[in-house]
A and B are shown apart, each in its own frame.
Chain A
């Protein structure tokens, strides 16, 4: 076999493998790790609620898909069979207490089970 054919074949092979790896990585890219991510915004619960109720479109354009660190008073803790949700209540809607709802990450749920007084 001529040398240049060998080189071309090797190059094609390398390109194919690289493409496959990139593709595999692309389709399996991980979810954003919220816990490790730096917050794009730091907001108080009451301010976030006020912003959303006064101008939803603007707030959506600002916060959608972003990591927000929030602080404020927790009014109640709701639990389902698999989730712990912290709620800051500001008003009422058709479905009950309306406000800011934070669904905790699984590690927090485990903590909650181990130390129910938390």
Chain B
């Protein structure tokens, strides 16, 4: 009996590996929202690279800072030149793991809460973070969403006191990626 369970366990493991699948996108969306005292600022990036390995739970994001689009051209210029210094630090990345990936199955439509932990790099500074998100499995795709706060000073982004009322110290980041299986 024990042997049988072992074999069954091994079979399950093997079949799990057989269905090992990487899901990717290059058209993910990340936006952020700054609720300053004087003005609200929002920017969106529609060219986010993301990859998820559903067997290991490895998850990676790569974002080109210059691809964030603002309503006002001047905001975009200041964001790139003065605050994020996108010529020096062109990319922002996240490399981490979905710690509860084992509780999810990706072969039928369902929604799972995800806990994701890893290294977030913004403006050349890396911090270990843990955030919550959702994976919605829909017709073979995984729609990953998450909302979390980023405190600018944690990543060495300095806001001059002249505009401190225009820009919030903590911005709300909104992630929405539609990941497709690698064929």
- Judge if A28 is at the interface, Cβ distance under 8 Å: yes
Flag the segment in B13-21, B23-31, B125-133, B151-159 that touches A: B23-31
Do the beta carbons of A95 and B50 come within 8 Å of each other? yes
- Judge if A58 is at the interface, Cβ distance under 8 Å: no
Q: Which of A29, A82, A95 contacts B26 (CB 8 A)?
A: A95
Do the beta carbons of B46 and A27 come within 8 Å of each other? no
Do the beta carbons of B178 and A29 come within 8 Å of each other? no
**Distance A20 CA – B25 CA, assembled complex (angstroms):** 45
Do the beta carbons of A95 and B62 come within 8 Å of each other? yes
Binary interface encoding of chain B residues 44-78 relative to chain A, with 1 for a CB under 8 A from any of its CBs, else 0 = 00110111000000001010001000001110100
- Judge if B182 is at the interface, Cβ distance under 8 Å: yes
Query: Which residue of chain B has its CB nearest to the CB of A94?
Result: B51
A82 and B46 in contact, given A29-B74, A31-B73 (Cβ under 8 angstroms): yes
Query: Which residue of chain A has its CB nearest to the CB of B62?
Result: A95
B62: chain A residues within 8 A (beta carbon): 94-95
Q: Which of B50, B74, B76 contacts A26 (CB 8 A)?
A: B74
- Judge if A116 is at the interface, Cβ distance under 8 Å: no
A27: chain B residues within 8 A (beta carbon): 72, 74
**Distance A32 CA – B29 CA, assembled complex (angstroms):** 22
Do the beta carbons of B26 and A103 come within 8 Å of each other? no
Q: Which of A29, A85, A94, A97 contacts B60 (CB 8 A)?
A: A94
Binary interface encoding of chain B residues 80-94 relative to chain A, with 1 for a CB under 8 A from any of its CBs, else 0 = 000000010010000
- Judge if A55 is at the interface, Cβ distance under 8 Å: no
B26: chain A residues within 8 A (beta carbon): 78, 95-97, 101
**Distance A94 CA – B60 CA, assembled complex (angstroms):** 9
Q: Which of B25, B76, B90 contacts A95 (CB 8 A)?
A: B25
B positions within 8 Å CB-CB of A: 24-27, 29, 46-47, 49-51, 60, 62, 66, 72-74, 76, 87, 90, 178, 182
- Could you list 25 A-B pairs, sorted by A, with CB under 8 Å? A28-B74, A29-B72, A29-B73, A29-B74, A60-B87, A64-B66, A64-B87, A78-B26, A80-B46, A80-B178, A83-B27, A83-B46, A85-B27, A94-B62, A95-B26, A95-B50, A95-B60, A95-B62, A96-B25, A96-B26, A96-B182, A97-B26, A101-B47, A103-B46, A103-B47
